[in-house]
Amino acid sequence: MIKNKDNDQTSSTGVMSNVPVPVATDNKIIGDEKDLTGYWVGEFGPDVTPGDSVEYESGEDEEYNTINISIDEINGNKVNGHTVIAGKVRFFKCNMKKAGSKYQFTFKGRADEKAPGTYKFSIAKGDSLLKGRWDAGDKIPSHTFALVKNLFKYDPNWKLAAGRYVDYNKGGKVTIRVDSAHTYENDGFSTTSDDVSKHNASAELLTKDYLANLKKGDLLVLRNSIFARHGYTFKKPQINLYFSQQPWYVPLNTDVTAELTPIEKQNIALMVPYEKNAKEYYDAFGR
pLDDT tens for each residue of 139-171: 788 999 999 999 999 999 999 997 899 998 888
Q: What is the mean pLDDT of each run of 10 residues along the chain (287 residues)?
A: 47 55 97 97 85 46 82 98 95 97 93 80 98 90 96 97 88 77 81 92 97 95 98 95 96 97 98 95 68
One-letter amino acid of 244 = S
Domain parsing of the chain, residue ranges: 25-150, 166-283
pTM comes to 0.87
- Whether the CB-CB separation of 151 and 157 falls below 8 Å is answered with no
CATH of range 166-283; options 3.10.50.40, 1.20.58.1690, 3.30.1600.10, 2.120.10.80: 1.20.58.1690
What pLDDT shows up at residue 243? 96
Whether domain 25-150 has CATH 3.40.1000: the reply is no
Transcribe 240-255 into DSSP letters. Answer: HHHHHTSTT----BS-
pLDDT tens digit string along 50-83? 555 555 443 344 567 999 999 999 999 999 999 9
What pLDDT shows up at residue 178? 72
Task: Give the residue from 112, 114, 95, 113 showing the smallest Cα distance to 104.
Answer: 95
Give dist(CA 16, CA 81) in Å, integer. 17
- Whether the CB-CB separation of 150 and 40 falls below 8 Å is answered with yes
